[in-house]
Amino acid sequence: MVSLKFARKVAAANSTVLILGESGTGKSLIAHYIHENSSRKNGPFLTINCAAIPPDLMESELFGYTSGAFTNASRSGKKGLLESADGGTLFLDEIGDMPLSLQAKILHVIEEKKFFPIGGTKEKMVDIRIIAATNRDLSEMVTNKIFREDLYYRLSVVDITMIPLRERQEDISPLTYHFLYKFNRKYGMNKLISEDCLQWLTYYSWPGNVRQLENLIERLVITSEEVIGIDDLPKGIYIHSHLQIEKNTPTSLSEAIDLAKRKMVRTSYKLNRTSRRVAKDLQISQTYAAKLIREYCQDLK
């Protein structure tokens, strides 16, 4: 999980923010958190999902239009989200799906803090903070010329990467308890979860990330008996976790030591990110920490 301390630091800075990460990792949640912890918290927080709106509608949603701007324009015109978000934050979700022509216009808004509504001849001033998010690889899109390089650099002044749930196993247990509490309250239940079931959940790969875990716990609270057990898990999760557990069960002492070492180094590296801090955390030399990181954490770099 991205550190909340870091998110609060970002919130205070009032800069543009780019949030990267797979679907369901909590990008919208962190965008809200940044807004709530910024000086704009009493202003609006508005969202546009660029993947869900047809490109031709997106422009009028964002910029609004003046009366008579086009054939079906309403008489009084329409305020766009840029204007409605004045004094607050505009969250551009799935920005990777924004058409190139609009990307140029959004860059202009970020840089100049003003824009023309469609059909308008007078620029309007706005005071907004832009937070953008995407699950696509924007730098690759820049290379392929389907995302503007200048906008990419402007947005990524501060970027936050949400780590997939499978790479932060240590969060699965607290999140499960959090959702258990949430859905027990929602449905007036008092379900518990068995230790082995919790263990099995940590072995699953969670392609849908936190959203998938949340949906699963909601379903289990509704459908299980008093204690949620392994047998309540959907077949796909059951089989996958079972295979992983078999794969991760050591058959010799040296294998057990190696597994424990790997787990500790990976957990520490995810939190600390440098060999110096990992060395301090695990009380080993920095040279040895660097060697272990090379051995166990290549995929996390």
Ligand X SMILES: Nc1ncnc2c1ncn2[C@@H]1O[C@H](COP(=O)(O)OP(=O)(O)OP(=O)(O)O)[C@@H](O)[C@H]1O
Contacts made by residues 23-26, CB under 8 angstroms, sequence distance 24+? 23/135, 23/208, 23/209, 23/211, 24/165, 24/208, 24/209, 24/210, 24/211, 24/212, 25/162, 25/163, 25/164, 25/165, 25/209, 25/210, 26/1, 26/162, 26/209, 26/210
Query: Is residue 220 near ligand X by the rule CB under 6 A?
Result: no
The nearer residue to ligand X, 27 or 35, going by C-beta atoms, is 27
Binding of ligand X by 89 (CB under 6 A): no
Q: How far is CA 102 from the centre of its chain?
A: 23
CB of 80 to ligand X, least distance (A): 22
Cα 196 to chain centroid distance, Å, stands at 28
- The alpha carbon torsion through 285, 291, 292, 298 (nearest 10 deg) reads 140
Asked if 24 touches ligand X (CB under 6 A), the answer is yes
Q: Does 169 bind ligand X (CB under 6 A)?
A: no
At a CB cut-off of 8 Å and minimum separation 6, what does 123 contact? Answer: 114, 115, 116
Site for ligand X in 103-162 (CB under 6 A): 135
- Which residue number has the CB closest to ligand X? 26
Does 96 participate in binding ligand X (rule CB under 6 A)? no
> Is position 214 an interface residue for ligand X (rule: CB under 6 A)?
yes
CB 116 within 8 A of CB 123: yes
Residues in 221-250 that interact with ligand X by CB under 6 A: none
28 binds ligand X (CB under 6 A): yes
- Which one of 7, 17, 20, 26 is in contact with ligand X (CB under 6 A)? 26
Compute φ and ψ for 233, nearest 5 degrees. Answer: -70, 145
Pick the closer one to ligand X by CB: 31 or 109.
31
Give the other-Cβ count within 10 Å of 232's Cβ.
19
At closest approach, how far in Å is the CB of 61 from ligand X?
18
Q: Which stretch binds ligand X (CB under 6 A): 19-27, 77-85, 113-121, 249-257?
A: 19-27
210 binds ligand X (CB under 6 A): yes
27 binds ligand X (CB under 6 A): yes
Comparing CB distances to ligand X, the nearer of 91 and 203 is 91
Span from 21-29, 72-80, 144-152, 270-278 in contact with ligand X (CB under 6 A):
21-29
User: Which of 105, 211, 261, 280 forms a contact with ligand X (CB under 6 A)?
Assistant: 211
What is the spatial distance between Cα 21 and Cα 25, in angstroms, rounded to a whole number? Answer: 7
- 35 part of the interface to ligand X, by CB under 6 A: no
Query: According to CB under 6 A, which one of 25, 60, 176, 275 is a site residue for ligand X?
Result: 25
Residue 176 touching ligand X (CB under 6 A):
no
Query: Could you tell me how many residues of this chain bind ligand X (CB under 6 A)?
Result: 16
The residues, any chain, with a CB within 8 Å of residue 84's CB and separated by 6 or more, are: 44, 46
Instruction: Give the nearest distance from C-beta 120 to ligand X in angstroms.
Output: 32
- The piece of 149-157, 189-197, 206-214, 238-246 that touches ligand X (CB under 6 A) is 206-214
| Binding positions for ligand X, rule: CB under 6 A | 1, 21, 23-29, 93, 135, 175, 178, 210-211, 214
